[in-house]
Amino acid sequence: MAGHDLTPQRADDGPAYVTILVVGHLMGFALPVFFESFRDNPLLVACLLSAASIALALLMLPPVKGMFVAFQWAKGMHGFGRTASGPAISQETRCAGDC
């Protein structure tokens, strides 16, 4: 599925919840380490961890959405299921000719 536009697939809030869960845990474990290293400058700790959180979340969101869409494809959910006329087709393929 490389190169396909996955934006119309419904992943809802699942990727955001998983991303927040992972990034929050990583930053929670990193906070005491950074605070010990930069005890004299708490503003630097806040800026570094904030920048790292934003960067990590933005890097994680597309692959996590891909995992959710792949799970939906594997289970035949949200437009990936079989139609009455034959094999499984995606919403993109279905709308390419008629929509």
Percent of the chain with pLDDT over 70: 70
Ramachandran region of residue 24, left (φ > 0), alpha (ψ -120 to 50) or beta? alpha
Strands (E) across the chain are located at 82-83, 86-88
The model's pLDDT over 39-60, given as tens digits with 9 standing for 90+, comes to: 899 999 999 999 999 999 999 9
The model's pLDDT over 55-80, given as tens digits with 9 standing for 90+, comes to: 999 999 999 988 988 888 888 776 66
- pTM, entire model: 0.69
Binned at pLDDT 50, 70 and 90, residue 82 comes out as: low
pLDDT at residue 98 tops 90 = no
